[in-house]
Structure 1
Amino acid sequence: MSASDAVLADRDRTRRILRLALPPARRLWAAIALGALSGGSAVALLGVSAWLITRASEQPALLYISAAVVGVRAFALGRAFFRYLERLAGHDAAFRRLGDIRADLFARLVPLGPDGVGAGDRGSGKARGGELLARLADDVDELPDFALRVVQPLVSGGIAVLASSVAAFVLLPAAGVVLLLTLAAAFAVGTLVNRWAAGSAERRISPLRAALAAALHELVTGLDLLIAFDALPQARERVRVASARLTAAARTRAAGLGLTAGAVSLLAGVATVLALATGIPALEAGHLDAPTLAVVALLPLAVFEVFGTLPLAFGALRRVRASAERIADTVPATVPDGVPVDAPDATPLSVTSAPDVALSLRSAYWPGADAPVLQSIDLVLRAGERVVLTGPTGAGKTALAHVLTRFLDLDGGYAIDGVDVRGVRQDDVRRVVGLVEQQPYLFDSDLRQNLLFARDTATDEELLAVLDRVGLGEWTRSRGGLTSPVGERGALVSGGQAQRIALARALLADFPVLVVDEPTANVDAAVAGRIVRDILTTAADDGRTVLLISHTAVPDGLVTRRIRMEAGTLVPAVS
């Protein structure tokens, strides 16, 4: 893809995000109509009030001003009533879109995980940790402003301002022309002032906020390591610097908003003076009366109050567009090479027992890598086999596990019970071939919730039974049962206990083929031996096929075969 094509693709993705942020037309136009009614009521309230006060000073019969009295009351109530309904309808419609936006973003992220996130198109590799969290949370939270602070003010405010200008023209053509000219000048000046004073700050706020989130994420999640290596002062300084930059940008934006409001208010005064300058000669010439002159003179103040949000809408648009660009940049336009995707005609895969798995691989690449991580591998796992894979660090063992679970694509053949997996749904493959990772993720919740996501219909009895099978029954009961917390990322459990919880989840999910990646990497030798033994004996009892990736010595009686990997390919195993 050329540079110009990449820019066009980025713009298309940004426009798509902005379109997704807009509520349905029915809801959007309802909010716009209510906003226009609120703005019109505000203008009418000041105009009728000015006419009523001036006319009342002439002491006419009450009959002549009773309609104006009713009008003042009606427009005062209408201004607040329609404003409330506009806020209610607009915010309800805009916030309803947040769920759709997040669902769409996650739907586009899921096919990339875990190996495709951070590879491929521009910038996606930067969205890690706190940066990715900022895009999924803060940047998405900015998107409702596209409807609330950009589209609605421009349309509803524009309607109210145009109607008021027509009314001023009807009362006094010269005053209507002056009002339109000053409104146009205020719009141009306000927009330019806002762009000059706050434009760059508004574009920088989203990245600076993400930088602060990333620095805080690094500080909080790595606090123990930072303390151990005496690196806490440097991490705190990074947070302080990121916070200071964000604060400075926010202050600049606030100053720009203030200058914009000041410029609009100044021109509102100019419009009032010019309205008087055109109205007084008309009064002297008998073309209008004193109450009408009061309306003509004060009408610009009311119109400019409604108009004040229009120049600010372009500042909000810059801020929202910056967030939309970052959200669009989170996911590449196309799935990176090396990440498998479902074919349009993908079929289901149904397996009722442990299948035979046959892999004939010519090469496989990490997404975005130039050199293959695996090459020339022929591997067959027979139903019920317990195979141990060994090899040095960096040999490609984890990559092989990701190929088998379809996180990585391959050049070659891969069949389950004779069915080519590239023609079936990837999720179906992962229901057959399960992975217990080297560092299993535990949610910051209790033990029950960390097990239920593997099978949400499991009862407490079934959960306790599977914990007994992996050797955690007594430990669970000693901690108070299934409600015991595991802490953030399993901070309240040991490495061995985390591996056993992950194994329990795999047993609950009932994978016929289980790939276990370095389950003993974070435990001592005695615990490592028990974990390996429990994994293999549990698998043997269930008739599962197991591929165990391990540096720990495994007794011959627990395995049916050994294989070894070096430099991305299989070599004869060393006994």
Structure 2
Amino acid sequence: MDKTVEKKLTKWLKLQKKACGFYLNLSVFFGVLTGLSLMCQAWLIATVLQGIIIDELPKSDFINHFWALLALTIVRGILAFARERASFQAGAKLRVEMRAAVLDKLALLGPAFIKGKPAGSWASIVLEQVEDLQDFYARYLPQVVLAGFIPLIILVAVFPINWAAGLILLATAPLIPMFMILVGMGAADANRKNFSALARLSGHFMDRLKGLSTLKLFNQGEKEARVIKKASEEFRERTMAVLRMAFLSSAVLEFFAAVSIAVMAVYFGFSYLHHLDFGHYGAPISLFTGLFVLILAPEFYQPLRDMGTHYHAKAQAIGAAEELMALLDHPTEQVGGDKLVDGAVTIEAKDLSVYSLDGSLLLGPISFQIGAHEHVAVVGPSGAGKTSLLNALLGFLPYQGQLLIAGTELKDLSASDWRKHLAWLGQEPQLFHGTLRDNVAMGRQLSDEQIMALLSKAQIVDFVEQQAQGLDYPIQEQTAGLSVGQAQRIALARALAQQASLFVLDEPTASLDSLSEQAVQATLITAMQGKACIMVTHRLESLSTMDNILVIDKGALVQQGSYTVLLEQEGTFKQMLDEASSVSEFDIDADTNINSDSNDLATLAPEGDK
């Protein structure tokens, strides 16, 4: 990974630590207290051994020292537990804040942006990548501070006793961070590649799992299994590369810490044998001095070793932060704070051009008007730009030109306030895991009577009354247990609860059987009385009731007018209508031939087989 990018990601990660609250500082505080209590223990142990072995004092003189050691042991255990809890809470608070920020950003960017990646990739970002920030904030950042505090406190305690021992500690301390950096230089890049491989595997696996029936029907199961195996193998290799980095860094740090402690032990050993005579302040080196320094020596390097151990958490977080930062810093359309006055909604587009999020022109420039209480249909071949127009109207795609809502530019309106005036119904109803009541109310304070009234308008109340749980009927993920028609009518009841001024409909009956389609259409006709409506549809035969029809082809508005007017004009609309009529006639002829063949077979069959 480029060093500039790594520094940028590290800076971004550190800026997020304010989300940890006071828990991060609390973790550092408990860590410092743990270090101080350990120094007190070292002093007590060295004092006791010096008094008993060298000074030959009775053991009874050190009863208080033993009790103090026991108390400090208990205190250290409590401090260690408190530090772990504070660290965990810091990471947990950060994860909650980060996931909320990611979900809020995705909600702001809208479905047009979300569809740019497989669902599995978003799941990887929201779950795995946010989860992998935990150790960076819970362990690495506090340890960086402690790696500076604890050794400094120990040096302050050691130098007044023996300056040579202090110099050895001071000279060998940089070895551990230096080799930690050298070993960890490739760790961030390895983690970044690991996350990329995981995102690809997650997205690929989830998409193939959702389309498993289609793959089986087209006999592509084995081929896709090989593709998933290849992606899994790539992810395994990336994971093993990360683990190699982690194990290598731990081994290197342990080696240099052991060498540094060994140098200290050799110095004191030769000093006690009178081969070395320096480092003291006039008085000979006592047993107390040697024991005190040697007990503290491992603890001097321990914060540095812990920082090295947790260094892979930094590399892991940097790998995870790349996509998180790109998402959270992704530019969004500037929206104003103006609010619409309650009442009828009018729409006026002047030289409107709609663009994709990467800047490609999808539609326009086009101009049209939708008056108060007017019902307008948008038709055209697939890929003409119909859904792009709706996405721009909903605030999910950028546009140029003018798009006036009741005389106010859409960009100047508050997005949340504007959407309160909308009732949305698409061709793929999205119900959420929860109860039927939750899916209709969607957070609104609605009574059971109001919800039942909405379900009655959507002509789904009979289904609810047949269920033992009633409004507590559980909606499973992917609307399991419901037909498409039932799910669509529940989504319709939810839309009716909006009390909207404008209905935005995107193929609301595309996936329904004839009975469900008639039920939904009848409900919509009743609900949209006195309201404005813009509807994208391919069902041209039912457009005679619409006030105006916009015909879009290849990103341009090629025709507009009432059903009667367009029927008399040569153009895209009449061509589409003729094609639809041909398809319907073909279906009728096919059904007739099948019935005729069945009758012929019945006539030819033996009497016993009829």
TM-score, normalised via structure 1 length: 0.86
Change over 3 Å in CA distance of 1:101–1:55 after alignment to 2: same
Structure 2 match to 1:381: 371
Structure 2 match to 1:85: 82
Is 1:142 the counterpart of 2:132? The answer is yes
* 1:195-236 C-alpha deviation (Å, 9 max, x unpaired): 46x554334333233233223322433333333333333444
Structure 1 match to 2:595: none
Structure 1 match to 2:52: 56
CA distance in 2, matches of 1:332, 1:297: 50
Deviation (angstroms), 1:472: 0.9
Deviation (angstroms), 1:505: 1.2
* 1:482-515 C-alpha deviation (Å, 9 max, x unpaired): 2223332323322222322222111101111102
* 1:377-425 C-alpha deviation (Å, 9 max, x unpaired): 2222332x33333332222222222233333344333334334433322
Is 1:433 the counterpart of 2:426? The answer is no
CA distance in 1, matches of 2:355, 2:255: 63
Counterpart amino acid of residue 316 in structure 2 = R
Structure 1 match to 2:444: 456
Instruction: Kindly report which structure 2 residues correspond to 1:203-222, keeping only aligned pairs within 5 A, or say none.
Output: 203-222=192-211
Is 1:533 the counterpart of 2:522? The answer is yes
Bigger shift: residues 160-169 or 548-557: 548-557
Change over 3 Å in CA distance of 1:348–1:54 after alignment to 2: same
RMSD: 3.1
Change over 3 Å in CA distance of 1:535–1:25 after alignment to 2: closer
Is 1:510 the counterpart of 2:477? The answer is no
CA distance in 2, matches of 1:504, 1:476: 12
CA distance in 2, matches of 1:204, 1:103: 25
CA distance in 2, matches of 1:357, 1:264: 67
Change over 3 Å in CA distance of 1:43–1:142 after alignment to 2: farther
Deviation (angstroms), 1:281: 4.1
Counterpart amino acid of residue 140 in structure 1 = V
Structure 2 match to 1:329: 326
Change over 3 Å in CA distance of 1:218–1:55 after alignment to 2: farther
Deviation (angstroms), 1:309: 0.7
Instruction: Kindly report which structure 2 residues correspond to 1:352-371, keeping only aligned pairs within 5 A, or say none.
Output: 352=343, 354-371=344-361
Q: 1:202 aligns with which of 188, 191, 210?
A: 191
Is 1:394 the counterpart of 2:383? The answer is yes
Change over 3 Å in CA distance of 1:41–1:565 after alignment to 2: same
Structure 2 match to 1:151: 141
Counterpart amino acid of residue 478 in structure 2 = R
Instruction: Kindly report which structure 2 residues correspond to 1:95-494, keeping only aligned pairs within 5 A, or say none.
Output: 95-117=92-114, 125=116, 127-195=117-185, 198=187, 200-283=189-272, 284=274, 287-335=284-332, 340-343=333-336, 346-352=337-343, 354-383=344-373, 385-453=374-442, 456-480=444-468, 481-494=470-483
Residues 376 and 547 in structure 2, CA contact (< 8 A), matched pair in contact too:
yes
Q: 2:534 aligns with which of 522, 531, 547?
A: 547
Change over 3 Å in CA distance of 1:104–1:57 after alignment to 2: same
TM-score, normalised via structure 2 length: 0.81
Deviation (angstroms), 1:169: 2.7
Counterpart amino acid of residue 49 in structure 1 = I
Question: Equivalent residue of 1:131, what SS?
Answer: helix
CA distance in 1, matches of 2:514, 2:328: 42
Question: Equivalent residue of 1:492, what SS?
Answer: coil
Question: Equivalent residue of 2:551, what SS?
Answer: strand
Change over 3 Å in CA distance of 1:258–1:559 after alignment to 2: closer
Structure 2 match to 1:41: 37
Residues 167 and 176 in structure 1, CA contact (< 8 A), matched pair in contact too:
no
Is 1:30 the counterpart of 2:21? The answer is no
CA distance in 1, matches of 2:285, 2:44: 16
Residues 372 and 531 in structure 2, CA contact (< 8 A), matched pair in contact too:
no
Deviation (angstroms), 1:72: 2.2
Query: Unpaired runs of 5+ in structure 1?
Result: 119-124
Query: Unpaired runs of 5+ in structure 2?
Result: 278-282, 568-610
Residues 378 and 536 in structure 2, CA contact (< 8 A), matched pair in contact too:
yes
Deviation (angstroms), 1:173: 1.6
CA distance in 1, matches of 2:71, 2:95: 36
Residues 536 and 558 in structure 1, CA contact (< 8 A), matched pair in contact too:
no
CA distance in 2, matches of 1:42, 1:526: 78
Identity in percent? 22
Counterpart amino acid of residue 361 in structure 2 = A
CA distance in 2, matches of 1:565, 1:436: 21
**Which gives a bigger RCO, structure 1 or 2 (Cα 8 Å, sep 6+)?**
1
Deviation (angstroms), 1:32: 0.9
Counterpart amino acid of residue 178 in structure 2 = A
Flag the structure with larger Rg: 2
